[in-house]
Amino acid sequence: MEAAIRFDQFNALADDEARERIVAARQRLGDRLVILCHHYQRADVYRHADLTGDSLKLSRLAAQSDAEFIVFCGVHFMAEVADILSKPEQISILPDLAAGCSMADMANLAKVGRAWRELDAVLGGVESKVTPVTYINSAADLKAFCGEHGGIVCTSSNATAILEWAFARREKVLFFPDQHLGRWSGHKMGIPLEEMVVWNPDLVNGGLSDDEIRRARILLWAGHCSVHQMFQPGHIEKWRKEHPDGFVISHPETSFEVCLHSDYVGSTEYIIKTIKAAPANTRWLVGTELNLVSRLAEEVRAEGKIVQFMSPMVCMCSFMGRIDPQHLAWCLENLAEGKVVNRISVPPHEARLARLALDRMLAVS
């Protein structure tokens, strides 16, 4: 077989030319191809999506697709989930392998494994006392860890229901990698803040005393989203003074204080549905990624709704933004020529265990 077409032939393409080549390659591939796009994806790529959604929705769609090629315009962990949930003969592809996730990188298997051993030393019988719960924004090997140890995966759409599932089985939860989603979800269940402690993976026993570990119900990994940490309660307070009749809606990856100051808190799908279902001529301040907010503002403008981005600073997911029209064109033209580039393939043993945790999540959801 001939070598794959090199990316350097595409890197200098103008956006309009890249778009034309994407359209042409798609026509050649037909229903052998499906393009999935996360809501945070940039507009010039999002326009090519066959299916769009948040992590939970895209997980389901990946499992239901019959296409030979699943091209995921998102980040690495999303393409891994597509590979795990899709059929063995399907191929999952990420147009740019550099599209990672800083939050996912904050927890790795070595550190989680060490935390698990340290918890066992303090609690004794950790397998019967702690349920590991990983946010879908994590590597496949961490999902496999949860599958192996009776744990589960969650998304921002279902985290509270997943915690309820976990507590029905064991008395404590180790929640990683996003502390903010875990804290807000625990708060919604009525768990006091003092029973949700932060586990710092760079310190012995997470920087906690034995007594703090024993009293905690949720051990929150010291991780966060670099985009959502930009939003501050002060942004909301200033906006409310100017627009007292407006509404504030935020993603649960924002800080606890931002969530408390918001009128609504939920996933990207929830944010979109809530604003689209709202009465005409309402005004909204939105705490989530800029591409989604800008797209939503355009979609509801005709109804007189005003949608504003929460932070005064430009705040996009730079990792998601690495998927550009040039990378997508390169990926699709190679497929049209019978060459697969940037395939994401999770090792079989790891995929089997990760699927256990994902299937548990899908059953609960």
Residues 159-189: tens digit of each pLDDT: 999 999 999 999 999 999 999 999 999 999 9
In CATH terms, is domain 228-309 a member of 3.40.50.10800? yes
Residue percentage of the chain with pLDDT more than 70? 97
Specify the pLDDT at position 356.
97
Specify the pLDDT at position 101.
78
Query: Does position 350 have pLDDT exceeding 80, yes or no?
Result: yes
**Separation between Cα atoms, residue 5 and residue 55, nearest integer Å:** 31
Delimit the domains of the chain by residue range.
7-100+319-346, 104-225, 228-309
Residue percentage of the chain with pLDDT more than 90? 80
- Mean pLDDT, rounded, of the chain: 93
| pLDDT classification of 1: cutoffs 50, 70, 90 | low
Specify the pLDDT at position 102.
78
**Separation between Cα atoms, residue 174 and residue 34, nearest integer Å:** 35
pTM of the entire predicted model: 0.92
| pLDDT classification of 314: cutoffs 50, 70, 90 | low
Specify the pLDDT at position 326.
94
CATH number attached to the domain at 7-100+319-346: 3.40.50.10800
pLDDT tens, position by position, 110-122: 999 999 999 999 9
Query: Does position 312 have pLDDT exceeding 80, yes or no?
Result: no
Q: Could you tell me which of 291, 231, 225, 327 has the C-alpha nearest to residue 40?
A: 291
| pLDDT classification of 315: cutoffs 50, 70, 90 | low
Specify the pLDDT at position 342.
94
Average pLDDT on 241-256 reads 97
Query: Does position 227 have pLDDT exceeding 90, yes or no?
Result: no
Specify the pLDDT at position 321.
65
Average pLDDT on 64-74 reads 91
Beta strands in 145-226 (DSSP E): 152-154, 172-176, 196-199, 218-221
Specify the pLDDT at position 38.
85
Instruction: Give CATH superfamily name and number for 104-225.
Output: NadA-like (3.40.50.10800)
Query: Do the two domains 104-225 and 228-309 of this chain adopt the same fold?
Result: yes
3-state secondary structure of 66: coil
Query: Does position 316 have pLDDT exceeding 70, yes or no?
Result: no
Task: Check residue 304 and give left, alpha or beta (phi > 0: left; psi -120 to 50: alpha).
Answer: left
Pair 50, 278: CB distance under 8 Å: no
Kind plus residue range of the DSSP H or E element containing 180 = helix 179-188
